[in-house]
Amino acid sequence: AQSVTQLGSHVSVSEGALVLLRCNYSSSVPPYLFWYVQYPNQGLQLLLKYTTGATLVKGINGFEAEFKKSETSFHLTKPSAHMSDAAEYFCAVSDRSGSEKLVFGKGTKLTVNP
């Protein structure tokens, strides 16, 4: 069965600092990979996804993630944090079996300090 591990349930950065949120997956074949963001009391919103092709994926709000097959990782980064980035971030994987199901990591709550 597939699984997703997000290292660090809480990450705190200063405004303007680099944001790095880590995600590792376990899968026998490279899956499709997603990052979602959840603002307080809201549903989840897609930040970016990797399916095929270029391994560096750019998403909304200045975020990007790099798929590294050798490391089974899909870490999320943003060069300069903004106060509005404070939210919970979820990494998810989907296999290629046709079920369209997602398996989510447990989430990382990002705090941005002024």
Partner 1 sequence: NAGVTQTPKFRVLKTGQSMTLLCAQDMNHEYMYWYRQDPGMGLRLIHYSVGEGTTAKGEVPDGYNVSRLKKQNFLLGLESAAPSQTSVYFCASSSTGSAGSNEQFFGPGTRLTVL
Q: How far apart are CA 14 and CA 33, in angstroms?
A: 27
End-to-end CA distance of the chain: 41
Task: Decide if residue 45 touches partner 1 (CB under 8 A).
Answer: yes
The residue among 58 and 96 lying less far from partner 1, judged by its C-beta, is 96
Q: Of these, 61, 68, 106, 113, which contacts partner 1 (CB under 8 A)?
A: 106
| Position 104 contacts partner 1 (CB under 8 A) | yes
- The residue count for the chain: 114
Cβ(94)–Cβ(31) under 8 Å? yes
The span of 14-22, 58-66, 71-79, 88-96 binding partner 1 (CB under 8 A) equals 88-96
Q: CA 4, CA 100: separation in Å to the nearest integer?
A: 16
Contact residues for partner 1, defined by CB under 8 A? 4, 9, 31-32, 34, 36, 41-46, 49, 51, 90, 94-107
